Structure 1
């Protein structure tokens, strides 16, 4: 069997680690395009709170799966795998290398490895879990998931009730932990894969997170969330940076406290992202400034340049 000649270069890492800038720099260096693997940047209505690339950044390198969907669309990781692989087939017709950048570990895994088809779920299970959430709150769901699937509990954004409900409904319908469906079958891809994680100290990362949240507020996060109030029940909006501001707009807290909670929950989310990525032994942890040299050497050694 001949060796694949095309290469997908994955730029991964926690939120605020600099993936957008490094991805654009690398795409420009290789004269190629970028696939976004950020499950929130798909949505056109969510820009400030997702730290979406700016208009200027988007002009420097062609991006895919940025502003590709609306928050009312049904779009999941299975859809992303199918559409992303089809897109790669097209891009590899004219590019030797393609960059994929993002912090959504499950979406990266879908493109690089695939995962087993999730079981069908009894709608009554989902309805019951939604009622449980309405009556007992998110902390109850968190504890249920911690007991049912401690592995996924360490990875998921535990402040996103829809993610918790999804994992619990799969567990209750199948009797198997949600995490078990992500590691049964490795699907060989017809391209090479280089995985790079952006290496930052925890102190530096947390500093970048805090500064980013302050910039989001300055850029109009509160106004963005206020405009999305009619859609607040949608899955896309059950996420850090939005739920805390919804609480502020509901007069459940004041703005300084809401901002501090966004920072705190983002730092916790980053820690969970690192838990996920650290389990992937194929990731090469590289300082952001060294990525281009690393990739150039790696591709030369593989004979694909």
Structure 2
């Protein structure tokens, strides 16, 4: 029997390796859906192995929108994401599809549900300016600059978070006001009911999956993928794309800074730390269907409530 969706938006969330993509595909086999990726790494072209991007066969049969929409040197903000995701949601409803937003980037989900502050829009000239500053000075120095301008924002933003640091500095440069001054008066991007599904296997299981997956990536040519990226003169280690888990460690290896065994150890540790951050954020969600293991019937029943 066809599911009556009544313009409901599905958030399919979970930490890395929790099985979100598999569940999204199972749902697409049950009824008409539009899968919308909520992942700040899958947006980049040419970064397939290290991001665990669904392969071409899967993407052809079950298209995931908002994958491969940027070059690794491009800037892509949460504002850009909310604009693009909202357009995809509208297209889904126009086509009588159920929009399923699937991924692990918590800030993107939060921005969609609760909105973003009204900040000055970035432009090519500004992006170029701050990308050059990032390349010449590095994240730590720019974070120190931010401390002087906007201590409140600097305390919230990690000194290695290049994207958020440069955005905070850019906001001040464009508007003359700090990010902290401008934040507030948020409004949800989505004007439809949201139903949340969280996949949360046991932590020990997630850790095993993380290790197994990264070893598989190494065997499937991950270092070759990063070597190709390094040939692009526009890329450097301070860009958000190259700071993605795994890519940062591989970049260091190719620079001769660490050994091959260290790539594996450091990347697995960094992925587990990411998993912990994602899990901590998801624990604050009180209005979601929480599943330790995929149960398609339970999910279908929840969607149809």
When normalised by structure 2's length, the TM-score is 0.80
- Contact 1:133–1:140 at 8 Å: present in 2 too? no
- 2:235 corresponds to which of 211, 232, 238: 232
**1:45-56 maps to which residues of 2 (within 5 A)?**
45-56=46-57
Cα deviation code 1:57-109 (max 9, x no counterpart): 22331211112222233332212211221221111122252211001112122
3-state SS of the aligned residue for 1:237?
A: coil
3-state SS of the aligned residue for 2:252?
A: helix
* Number of residue pairs matched by the alignment: 291
How far the C-alpha of 1:133 sits from its partner, in A, is: 4.9
CA distance in 1, matches of 2:25, 2:82: 22
CA distance in 2, matches of 1:143, 1:266: 28
3-state SS of the aligned residue for 2:197?
A: strand
* Residues 269 and 137 of structure 1, relative CA distance in 2, 3 Å threshold: farther
* Residues 296 and 63 of structure 1, relative CA distance in 2, 3 Å threshold: same
**1:139-288 maps to which residues of 2 (within 5 A)?**
148=152, 152-153=156-157, 159-167=160-168, 174-175=177-178, 177=180, 181=183, 184-187=185-188, 189-229=190-230, 230=232, 231-233=234-236, 234-288=239-293
**What corresponds to 2:30 in structure 1?**
29
* Residues 270 and 252 of structure 1, relative CA distance in 2, 3 Å threshold: same
- Contact 1:27–1:98 at 8 Å: present in 2 too? no
Cα deviation code 1:194-235 (max 9, x no counterpart): 111111111111111111111111111100011111343243
**What corresponds to 1:94 in structure 2?**
95
Name structure 2 gaps, 5 residues minimum: none
CA distance in 2, matches of 1:141, 1:262: 29
CA distance in 2, matches of 1:67, 1:47: 9
CA distance in 2, matches of 1:191, 1:69: 28
How far the C-alpha of 1:10 sits from its partner, in A, is: 1.1
When normalised by structure 1's length, the TM-score is 0.80
3-state SS of the aligned residue for 1:288?
A: coil
- Contact 1:240–1:266 at 8 Å: present in 2 too? yes
**1:61-76 maps to which residues of 2 (within 5 A)?**
61-76=62-77
Name structure 1 gaps, 5 residues minimum: none
CA distance in 1, matches of 2:77, 2:178: 22
